[in-house]
Amino acid sequence: MILLMSDLEQVLKTAIDDHTYIIVGRRGAGKTSLANFFEFQEKIQNSSCIDVNEPQVYTDVLSRITSDTTTSVDILTHKMLCVWEYVFWNIIFNHYKEDATSINAVALSADNDVNSPAHFIQLALHSFLDKFINKEAVDFATSVENYFKDKAFKSAQIAVLEISPEKPLIIAMDSLERYDVNSDFFMAATSALVQFASQFNIAHAAKGLHLKVFLSGEVVPSLKEQWITNVTKFFRKPLYLCWRPRDLVRLTSWRLFKYIKHHKLTHVELPSRVDWTSFTEVHSSVWQPFFGKRIVNRAKMEECTFPYLLRHTQLRPRQFVVLCNYIADKAISEGNFPYFKNEDLVLQTRNVELELADEVISSYAKIYENIGYILDALTSMPCFFMGKELDRIAHKTASAWPSGTYSPDRFKRLIAELGIVGKVRRFDERTKIVEADFEYALRTRLYLPHDEYCVIHPMFFRKFHIKNTNEYLIYPFPDHHDFDELAEIR
């Protein structure tokens, strides 16, 4: 299910629903904020929440468990299913160990160094290694099966399921740190996590045990295409975090509105009442008085201020907030806050472009070796070009790829995956507005054909010294009716 963040109440309601166990979003899409929401929600009464948000703590131990390179993919995934079952039941036992002696009897002993859920997972994984991996001449499948059938383990499970309806538990599991879709270990671990969450949700959500798995949007296409054996069975009704204009303008306007009121800036006139659900009202009564309605950009072209700022991000709230904070800092230093001058909007947008672009690129640095050198091939490209141009420049990157991994298609996959290059959907010669699709706003991969027009995302113009000699206005917004609101204010 794709729920627009404009339907925020519905998003929160769906996230806490028993049937929701997969939540998908890219970096900066709000996964962490949603995970924090589980601690404060009121629908599931008397509940506790365990937020596992430091996957880097235990990833190395997890990889050691699956270090046998001779293992087939199916066996590797099955092994990871056993790992997750062991890990999560030990998290649950540790949570309820004070409620029943039978639970306490099987709970792992944690010392003072275990100061977070991620560290406890690390402890559980070490325990798994000792029990089932490090022992020689032990049949793995048989020993794991015997453990889960053991009388003490079953008694602890029964005790938990008697307690959990009155004392529910929500486990919010953040996505693994890496996005390497070429790593069998990473993809098997993620696929097994989804499959386990599906089975666990069906069996125990109605009894007060809720597992919410947060997935990086970057890996979902590969996960569904190559790793999850039965998508309709194990990948049911995922909640996609897709932010729309009305929520991004509401987010920043609300923050500014509350700041002005909190700091009692008496020289600033605020509306006495704002319908925060109305894009038009928020834009006209809160956004416009401070940011202005229209702006003259670096190409000396006039455009609407809100779309101008928005098109220099990848529609993620963190990016948009960072951009607006840069603008606010400049206004504060010049004594103009909360009113923002045209030239400062343009200057600060250019300044923050580089930071936002570097953040996106660096998040892939562990996945694509020498990514910086590979992407250098885009330097000084025009912003608007035929797709065959990508085939022409791809070969320049051949020496930067690790041995045997280069191909033109892999280069195009990389730049599409990062949201650097998109495909033109519509072009208006009169207004110079180019509407384009980018992968970060889609549920599937974006194919960049050689015989269609492509564009560089405006957020990467400064990074790669992109040429915009024809002064195009590139609108990297999806073809969705919610984005019609931008056309209404242009």
All CATH 3.40.50 domain ranges of the chain, comma separated, are: 2-242
Closest CA to 407 of 374, 456, 445: 374
pLDDT of residue 56: 80
Task: Reply yes or no: is the peptide bond before residue 338 cis, omega within 30 of 0.
Answer: yes
DSSP H helical ranges for 183-310: 184-204, 220-222, 231-234, 245-262, 279-282, 288-291, 305-310
The pLDDT confidence band at residue 6, using thresholds 50, 70 and 90, is very low
3-class DSSP assignment, residue 261: helix
178, pLDDT greater than 90:
no
Beta strand ranges found along 332-380 (DSSP E): none
70, pLDDT greater than 60:
no
Say how far apart CA 383 and CA 431 lie, in whole Å: 16
102, pLDDT greater than 90:
yes
Q: Does domain 2-242 have CATH number 3.90.1570?
A: no
3-class DSSP assignment, residue 33: helix
Average pLDDT over residues 199-220: 93
The pLDDT confidence band at residue 94, using thresholds 50, 70 and 90, is very high
pLDDT of residue 216: 86
Q: Which residues contact 86 (CB under 8 A, 6 or more apart)?
A: 124, 127, 128, 144, 147
Average pLDDT over residues 95-107: 95
pLDDT of residue 138: 61
1, pLDDT greater than 50:
no
Say how far apart CA 57 and CA 55 lie, in whole Å: 5
Average pLDDT over residues 184-189: 85
pLDDT single digits (tens) 376-413 = 999 999 999 999 999 999 999 999 999 888 999 999 99
Distances (CA, A) of 320 to 27, 446, 462: 13, 23, 17
What average pLDDT is seen over the chain? 89
pTM score, two decimals? 0.83
The answer to whether residues 340 and 292 touch, using CB atoms and an 8 Å cutoff, is: yes
